[in-house]
Structure 1
Amino acid sequence: MNQPLRRLATVVIVMFIALMGATTWVQFFSAKDLNADPRNARTLYREFGNARGPIVVGGKAIAESVKVDDPFNYQRKYADGELYSALTGFYSIVNGSTELEYAENANLTGKSDQLFFSRVRDLLTGRQPEGAAVETTINAEAQKAAFDGLEGQAGAVVAIEPSTGRILALVSTPGYDPNKLASHSSKKASAAYSKLLDTDGNPLRSNATRETYPPGSTFKLVTAAAALESGEYQASTELPAPVRLDLPQTTASIGNFGGGGCGADPITLADALRVSCNTAFAQLGMDVGVDALREQADRFGFDDDDLTIPMGTATSRFPATANAPQTAQAAIGQFDVQATPLQMAMVSAAIANGGRLMTPYVVDRVRAADLSVVSETKPTLKSTAVSPGTASTLRDMMIGVVQSGSGTAAQISGVQVAGKTGTAQNAEGAAPHAWFTGFAPADNPKVAVAVIVEHGGNAGSEATGGRVAAPIARAVMEAVLGS
């Protein structure tokens, strides 16, 4: 063979090897990414061509796939869409998916490795493939009580079973109707999505899990916990409680709600929590120290970047650094302290559970189309937030808040309720957020709850956590205890 032919043969062999390599790369290594690419029309037709599994609350499908006469075969339908929008999210051929529709996609489509034998069975029997059912932990009565309680006001409610971490209610308002986003008309689905993006309050974002707020006086539970855990404070320990507290290193000062005193000076730690005394807790925060506050906040779940329920959540934050006046502000839930409603429900749930913080979750179990249980969530301990003794003391102090303090609107006849109110300053010139977090029954907790009403809701600048948020929390707790 002469030299030109050898060169040509070499080029042909190299090109053949390159072609085989590229084909292997596409068919094997890139297959998963190409199948998952939302621009892949074949993937869309394949996913919508099979029945997606339902999302279930209390035995009722709140999201399911129904047969339609178009090339996609099935369309997603949502029952009580606005009520459950923060839970289900949406599934759209144009806009993708969110919340449970996204987090549980592998199970809902039947592609999860856990469903391998179900897929083999369908292949052998010729049965139409179906996705698995995702059964949630949500209590339908509590969910509706939370939604009705917010009455169209912007805010959120989260309720948790303290002993397990099961999420019993997850509501964000304003909500939205996922059915409009599930339309098979690209034009209609895109228009609905754009409209929601332009709507005040961003309904597509879950205020319950994906938005953080200054927690205000509800954070005093964390400050009180840090003080009690130090061993240097008891519920009866007296604290200075001036009408105004002059802050060191600055000309600024901190006052109490309404500009008055706290009823006594000095005041016991228990009474300071009961009447939500800002000056006492600001000084307490400086005395305990920013490091102790940060450590305590972290044990309650703050600064956890990896928390999923299984939907992703925003990270609640306690400031990494703070000087003395900033620490005073942080101790009463201001400065750079930020928390999701889920996080504040976790604080109450940990106290209710003797100091043990259980990992929150919203998926109870997954069932294959033949109703066999594919997976079931087992309660797991996330952290020991406080000692049992500290939890007991905090519980008693929180009972005082509801019995004769700032949270009397959370009282339930015949049931002892523990709680803490919060009224949190936020944007300059804006009305404060109204907060409440607590649990019931105090002696045998079945539900812990956190409520936020943004900018005081209908009450505006006249709002307090006790007046606006506590009645909503009471309704949710009653729903759980009565179900």
Structure 2
Amino acid sequence: MNTPIRRLAFLVLAMFTALLLATTWIQFVAADGLRDRPGNRRTLIDTYSRERGAILVDGTAVARSERTDDDLRWVRRYDQATRYSHVTGYWSFTYGAGLGLEKARNAVLAGTDDSLFYQRVVDLVTGQQPSGASLELTIDPDVQAAAAEALGDRRGAAVAVDPRTGAILALVSRPSFDPNALSSHNLTAVDEAYQQLTQDPAQPLVNRAIAGDLYPPGSTFKLVVAAAALESGDYRADSELDGPVRYTLPGTSTELPNFGGEACDPQGRPTLARSVQISCNTAFAWLAGQLGADAVREQAQEFGFGQQIEVPMQVTPSSYPDQLDDAQLALTGVGQYDVRVTPLQVAMVSAAIANDGALMTPYLVETVRDRDLEVIHETRPRTMSRSVSASTAAALTEMMVSVVQGGSGTLAQIPGVSVAGKTGTAEFGSSGAAHAWFTGFAPADDPQIAVAVIVESATDNWTGETGGQVAAPVARAMLEAGVAP
């Protein structure tokens, strides 16, 4: 064989090798990604040929597939659409699986997940039409309804969890949207609806309960600081703190005031319990400095800060800042500076305290069921961490009860039920605007539900709405709905 022929043979061999490698890569490595791309219309047409699984709340479908007469054969319908939109997400021929469970559990709902392999084999052998699996959720419809109605048209979010298991009982984000507008087979109308939603400055497609830009927690973070103090062994509920009317941030001439410019104690020495009850800013700024950034950060992490959580939607990790100077550390003691949280994270703090210090992993899907309603998967409660000792949890519970009984959270009171809570008013930006927070649980002596509520500032110029005034009534409605009679 002469040299030109040999070179040509090597070139042909190299081309066949490259073709073989590319084919193998596409079929076995990149196949899932290519199949799941929103623009893959062949995959969408294929999935529309089978019935998509339902999403169920207390046995009632809040997302279901309905047979049509057109060539797509099935259309997705959402009942109580705006109430559950951030839970369900949407399923669109144009935009694919978007947000919520439609995206996070797309393969299960579509019937292509590996867990449904044997069902697909049976369908193939018996000639049955393939279908997806259904998701049965942990949502309590009464708590979800109470949260949605109490929030109304105000921007914000509300979350409720069962502190004993981590099961999510409510997940509401406002503003909401109608996923039916995106599931229609009128593709022109779908595109118009999608463009309107994505260009809306209120960002209705953002799930504020678990994602988005996150919020400063304000005084709800004082629970974390108080926990760190008790866990250190250097402080008790009756330990006196330095709580003047105004506290000069270390290394600066900037003064941090208490709300309304009031004293926390006539002698400026409120106890830790009293400081939680009346939400004393100066005492907690001082306390954070005494504890140090590492102790506060480590305590926050024990409550779930910085953790990667899927419920199964991805939850944006909450964060406590690194490399703080003394003034910044003091500000974190009142939940300001660069402390950032999701409402779910704040609910997890209350839930851990309610559960004797054990933080349970939050989850939204109770069971996955096949076409014959046989359980394919059941979520079992798991402990995420031991956030605080049982004795610390008991002390914090007593402090939180005092907040509702005679402190800043009296509007969360429920006749005949002992409620534990903590208010928060979190400043943001540079205009003086503030968001309103409330977190807590009930009954305090036998917790069944833990909640977190944030109501965003209606304007850039805050007009005095505090967490106790605005968020506590929303939380009360949720707690009332979630407490067993």
TM-score range relative to shorter protein: over 0.9
Aligned to 1:230: 232
Deviations, residues 203-236 of structure 1 (Å, cap 9, x unaligned): 0001100031000000000010000001011111
1:280 aligns with 2:289: no
Q: Using the alignment, how far apart are the partners of 1:207 and 1:4 within structure 2?
A: 66
Aligned to 2:185: 184
Question: For 1:294, which of 292, 297, 300 is the aligned residue?
Answer: 297
1:402 aligns with 2:404: yes
1:454 aligns with 2:460: no
Q: How many residues align?
A: 482
Gap change, CA 1:69 and 1:118, over 3 Å in 2: same
Gap change, CA 1:395 and 1:458, over 3 Å in 2: farther
Q: Using the alignment, how far apart are the partners of 1:288 and 1:10 within structure 2?
A: 70
Gap change, CA 1:39 and 1:328, over 3 Å in 2: same
What letter matches 2:210 in structure 1?
T
Gap change, CA 1:111 and 1:162, over 3 Å in 2: same
Task: Give RMSD over aligned pairs.
Answer: 2.0
8 Å CA contact 2:248–2:255 kept in 1: the answer is: yes
Gap change, CA 1:456 and 1:353, over 3 Å in 2: farther
Q: State the shift of 1:457 in Å.
A: 7.9
What letter matches 1:74 in structure 2?
W
Question: For 2:445, which of 443, 446, 449 is the aligned residue?
Answer: 443
Aligned to 2:42: 42
Gap change, CA 1:34 and 1:336, over 3 Å in 2: closer
Aligned to 2:143: 142
Q: State the shift of 1:462 in Å.
A: 2.1
Q: State the shift of 1:57 in Å.
A: 0.6
Q: Using the alignment, how far apart are the partners of 1:386 and 1:92 within structure 2?
A: 44
Q: State the shift of 1:200 in Å.
A: 3.2
Aligned to 1:421: 423
Of the structure 1 ranges 293-302 and 188-197, higher mean CA displacement relative to structure 2 is found in: 188-197
TM-score under structure 2 length normalisation = 0.95
Q: How does 1:68-217 map to 2 (within 5 A)?
A: 68-96=68-96, 97-211=98-212, 212-217=214-219
8 Å CA contact 1:142–1:480 kept in 2: the answer is: yes
**Unmatched segments (≥5 aa) in structure 1:** none
Gap change, CA 1:5 and 1:433, over 3 Å in 2: closer
Q: Using the alignment, how far apart are the partners of 2:205 and 2:432 within structure 1?
A: 23
2:483 match: secondary structure: helix
Q: State the shift of 1:6 in Å.
A: 7.1
Q: How does 1:311-350 map to 2 (within 5 A)?
A: 311-350=313-352
What letter matches 2:295 in structure 1?
A
Of the structure 1 ranges 310-319 and 427-436, higher mean CA displacement relative to structure 2 is found in: 427-436
Q: Using the alignment, how far apart are the partners of 1:385 and 1:183 within structure 2?
A: 46
8 Å CA contact 2:432–2:460 kept in 1: the answer is: no
1:451 match: secondary structure: strand
1:222 match: secondary structure: helix
Of the structure 1 ranges 263-272 and 212-221, higher mean CA displacement relative to structure 2 is found in: 263-272
**Unmatched segments (≥5 aa) in structure 2:** none
Deviations, residues 277-331 of structure 1 (Å, cap 9, x unaligned): 1011111111111111001011001112x21111011111101121111111000
Q: State the shift of 1:460 in Å.
A: 5.1
8 Å CA contact 1:45–1:71 kept in 2: the answer is: no
TM-score under structure 1 length normalisation = 0.96
Of the structure 1 ranges 359-368 and 13-22, higher mean CA displacement relative to structure 2 is found in: 13-22
Gap change, CA 1:261 and 1:190, over 3 Å in 2: same
Q: State the shift of 1:53 in Å.
A: 0.2
Question: For 1:391, which of 390, 393, 402 is the aligned residue?
Answer: 393
Aligned to 1:434: 436
Q: Using the alignment, how far apart are the partners of 2:249 and 2:169 within structure 1?
A: 42
1:267 match: secondary structure: coil
Gap change, CA 1:439 and 1:19, over 3 Å in 2: closer
What letter matches 1:373 in structure 2?
V
